[in-house]
Amino acid sequence: MQGFFNTNFSTLKMAMDASSVRHQVIAQNIANSETPNYKRLEVRFEDELKKHLHKKDLSLKTPHPKHISNHPQSLDHVSIQVSRVVETTITNDENNVDLDREMALMAYNTIRYQTLSRLMEANIGRYYTVMRGA
């Protein structure tokens, strides 16, 4: 992907991956909304990405290609973290899934994924434009 294609591809791919992992996690939460002792799962990604993208303040100058950089160019370091929220409890059976909240999160996440796929399409469209030469 690197080289010929711009970095938008990897960023969008990563964001879409995060979105689909989040969808799976929401599905798991909803499927277990009546399971005793179940604690909801959560995906952390956007904060990590933001941290990664804004890390340029204290970056080292790398005039020579063999210099070690402290702001990695690839997004390999940004991982999609799935964690369990164990601190809260909503029902008598120690479950902490709020069905309405999960449904709202799911709606949000679906729109997000659809937006990302449009962006991806537009990004590919640019290459088509160049290749057709018109």
Partner 1 sequence: MLNLFETMNISASGMTAQRARLDVIASNIANAETTRGHDNEPYRRKTVLFSEIIQNELLAPESAQSGMNLGGVRIVRIEEDQRPFRLVFDPSHPDADDTGYVQMPNVNVLKEMIDLINAQRSYEANASVVSATKAFATAALQIRGGG
- 99 contributes a contact to partner 1 by CB under 8 A: yes
What is the per-residue binding string for partner 1 in 52-81, x denoting contact by CB under 8 A?
A: ---------------------------xxx
Distance CA 78, CA 52 (A): 7
Identify which range of 3-11, 53-61, 67-75, 119-127 contacts partner 1 by CB under 8 A.
Answer: 119-127
Q: Tokens in use for 41? A: 């799962």
Distance CA 74, CA 71 (A): 9
Selected from 5, 94, 106, 134, the binder of partner 1 by CB under 8 A is: 106
Map residue 83 onto helix, strand or coil: strand
**Are the C-beta atoms of residues 95 and 37 closer than 8 Å to each other?**
yes
Among residues 62 and 79, whose Cβ is nearest to partner 1?
Answer: 79
